[in-house]
Amino acid sequence: MRQRPLRHTARGNLPSELSGFIGRGAELAEVGRLLETSRLVTVTGVGGVGKSRLVLAAARSAAGAPGQERYCDGVRLAELACVRDPALLELTLAEALGLTDHTTRPPRTVLAEHLADKRLLLVLDGFEHLVDETAGLVRELLLHSPGLRVLAAGRRPLEVDGERTFPLAPPVPEEALALLAARASAADPDFAVTGANRADLVEVCARLDGIPLALELAAGRLRTLSPAQVLARLEDRFGLLTGGARGGLPRHRALRTAIGWSHELCTPAERLLWARLSVFAGQFDLDAAEYVCAGPDMPVEGVLDLVGELLAQSLLVREETPAGVRFRMLETVRLYGAGWLESLGDAVRLRRRHRDWYMGLATWCELDWFSPRQHEVAALVEAELPNLRLALECCLDEPDELHLGQYLAGTLWFYWAGCGRLTEGRHWLDRTLDQPGGAVTEYESSRLKALWVLGYVAALQGDATASMCALYECRDGAARSGNRVAAAYAVHRLGCLALVSDDMARARELLGEALEQYRAAGELNSNVLMCQVELGMALAFLGDLPGALALCGEVREICEERGERWTKAYALYVLAYAALEGGGTQDARRLLSECVEINHAFHDLVGLVLALELLALVTVAEGDPAEAAVLQGAAEPMWGGVGLQLFGSGYFNAPRLMCRERAGELLGTERYAAYSAEGRELGREALVVRALRGAARVPRPVERGGVPGPRVARSTAPADQP
């Protein structure tokens, strides 16, 4: 079945149903009934029988109409077909749930805690290659989350206690014919079922056992072949394509017949492209297809036409995404092509070409991150993440190319740190650095890059020990090899670690030293500007507001000139801090509003929570302690995903403690707690909308004395956990 782009909302991410759900009324009703009585329902069946479509239709029905939702915390879909590494299973579920966590806690623990009090329907699709891992995770989540229900689609059951399975058979003949006719009409508006062709169409459905995927493929051919011609070709191919191992399930032979029949109908060039495209995971674009698949036997200028042919035959799906037009192979189609590629003996070469393309893509994206195209780069890397993962796996599979994996994992620093992917970045950095083998001295620059990026990611996660070990190794290795740039990055990130550890004097020293080294090496990018912002932040915390304003004002100008927004957001935070110190609440709000907007767009949780807490303090100074308590209450739980060890004390904790103290004095303990609890109920989207509403709100009346001044000073109160 065609897969559609996900439609993200506050309560779910189910894809839009664009091609229509035909038939299956009885099956849909039965799955709904099972969901009413069981917390785990798995729809099973052969590939291509329509499991995904049925499960999505059942999920939409279970969700209810707007205002009548059965699951108050929504319905969420996790597509697992592209997840190759079992270690990424929990991260994929977290992403589907809209959950961001930057700590070193196990992702499974984070998931269980997040779902513990939720009333939510989780839809899992395509888990069969990770059945044991998925079963274990589902079992644990169901045990710890009494309000959770799971609706799964796979070729086999999960075999978890309490599971109710629903084996999905092919549709009845009338529904099969209706599906074939609908898909054929979509491909060719002139197509119609007539008295002359009805018998042939009924026979086609019968020969294909009514399997929806086979009918989709047949419908694509009905644009150029008559029903009688399609039927004749099926007759010619059945002997070969159903002659598998004796005792095999008929459904399996029927699916193989459908895919193999479509394969035989392709030209040799189309078959070759089909096989080569199977090296992609998830979506890909035309440029990638041309680079990876072209060769002496397939001119690059001919790939576009071949892609068009595969698209016309429903072997590819075209999708509009934030990263542009992209293509995807249905998984059963991709697997058939992969088997063909293996039989050609060309799989290893194509996988390396795939890796090389994504190495180049990551390099280009890193360079383009320091430009007005940051959002486009973020969207592109997000779309290409399954392929980047596959490229990293390819590097790890070959010890002599481990340096490429280190380079790739390090080159994606901007995505790990700037787009809310710290946990996944840590996963790949640890794997590439811990893997034995490779010529370390020859490719030391790649290892040094991975080390400073690991130090950066670990520091943001609150893992000071791992961060320091990686950065000292990078610094020492850079000194031995004379790598001035790597040395500057190591010193910079040691300064960053000192900053988040509240050692401001040490941070000022190291960040100043790193900035000098960057300038001496001629380095200028988002990292260099972030170093300058972090130095400004240290100066601001130490009371040198003129120095902080000079540094961050310069960064702001450079960012606006270059179109850089991610680093700019942190500069705006420091400028807002300084403005609030000087009593400029209006300027501080304006600066922080832009900061919140940017960080939210990039999914940068660290920058977002810092800005929101300072904005809550601004709100107190503006005379609305009730709204400040709401904002503070909403922001505080976000710290659990940032790193409690480092960001929960000292300088970074001062706005939070001051907001609690001032708003609490004005509201009283009970009212402050009530408004704070109101904030904790806000989702992130709602919180950001509320924060950006700003001065347009009407302040709630305060029964106690006047509002204290806005001055931000380091709290003398003991650090507490958020």
Residue 165 has phi, psi (to 5 degrees) of -100, 150
Distances (CA, A) of 685 to 323, 332, 490, 518, 689: 22, 36, 36, 38, 6
Residue 161 burial class via C-beta count within 10 angstroms: exposed 0-12, middle 13-18, buried 19 and up: exposed
Please indicate whether residue 527 or residue 333 has the higher confidence score (pLDDT).
527
* 3-state SS track over 253-298: HHHHHHHHHHHHHCCHHHHHHHHHHCCCCCEECHHHHHHHHCECCE
DSSP H or E run through 154: strand 148-154
Rounded to an integer, what distance in angstroms lies between the CA atom of residue 32 and that of residue 79?
A: 20
- Average pLDDT on 196-209 reads 89
Distances (CA, A) of 539 to 398, 512, 568, 608, 648: 47, 11, 17, 21, 20
Q: Extract the runs of DSSP E, i.e. beta strands, from 285-338.
A: 317-321, 324-328
Residue 669 burial class via C-beta count within 10 angstroms: exposed 0-12, middle 13-18, buried 19 and up: exposed
pLDDT in tens, 350-392: 999 999 999 999 999 999 999 999 999 999 999 999 999 999 9
Q: Which of 150, 165, 155, 153 is nearest to 40 (CA)?
A: 150
Q: Please tell me whether residue 559 adopts helix, strand or coil conformation.
A: helix
For residue 19, the 8-state DSSP code is S
pLDDT in tens, 88-107: 999 999 999 988 888 888 99
Residue 490's pLDDT band, with cuts at 50, 70 and 90, is very high
Which tokens in the block code for residue 381? 């890397």
Does the pLDDT at position 698 exceed 90? no
* Least reliable range by pLDDT among 157-161, 318-322, 490-494: 318-322
The overall average pLDDT reported for the chain is: 86
Rounded to an integer, what distance in angstroms lies between the CA atom of residue 258 and that of residue 510?
A: 64
Does the pLDDT at position 3 exceed 50? no
DSSP notation for 341-403 = HHHHT-HHHHHHHHHHHHHHHHHHHHHHTSSTTHHHHHHHHHHHHHHHHHHHHHHHH-GGGHH
Does the pLDDT at position 251 exceed 70? no
pTM of the model: 0.83
Q: Residue 623's beta-bridge partner residues?
A: none
Rounded to an integer, what distance in angstroms lies between the CA atom of residue 492 and that of residue 531?
A: 6
- Average pLDDT on 676-692 reads 90
* Least reliable range by pLDDT among 388-397, 509-518, 605-614, 648-657: 648-657
CB 95 within 8 A of CB 112: no
Q: Which residues contact 102 (CB under 8 A, 6 or more apart)?
A: 420, 422, 423, 460, 461, 462, 605, 606, 641, 642, 643
Does the pLDDT at position 720 exceed 60? no
Rounded to an integer, what distance in angstroms lies between the CA atom of residue 516 and that of residue 647?
A: 27
Q: Please tell me whether residue 70 adopts helix, strand or coil conformation.
A: coil
Which tokens in the block code for residue 210? 């009514």
Distances (CA, A) of 578 to 393, 573, 618, 635, 711: 46, 9, 12, 21, 9
Distances (CA, A) of 383 to 182, 282, 377, 379, 628: 31, 9, 10, 6, 37
Query: How many other C-beta atoms lie within 10 A of the C-beta of residue 679?
Result: 23
Q: Which of 180, 250, 173 is nearest to 214 (CA)?
A: 180
Distances (CA, A) of 471 to 376, 476, 492, 669: 31, 9, 9, 45
Domains and CATH numbers, the chain: 25-167 (3.40.50.300), 173-265 (no CATH), 576-696 (no CATH)
Give residue 346's pLDDT.
94
Sheet harboring 324-328: ordered strands across?
283-284, 324-328, 317-321
Q: Residue 318's beta-bridge partner residues?
A: 327
Q: Please tell me whether residue 690 adopts helix, strand or coil conformation.
A: helix
Residue 572's pLDDT band, with cuts at 50, 70 and 90, is very high
Sheet harboring 164-167: ordered strands across?
75-79, 120-125, 148-154, 40-44, 164-167
Does the pLDDT at position 122 exceed 50? yes
pLDDT in tens, 659-681: 889 999 999 989 999 999 999 88
Which tokens in the block code for residue 661? 């103290």
pLDDT in tens, 273-288: 999 999 999 899 999 9
Q: Which residues contact 99 (CB under 8 A, 6 or more apart)?
A: 110, 111, 114, 641
Which tokens in the block code for residue 133? 């891992």
Rg (CA), the chain: 28
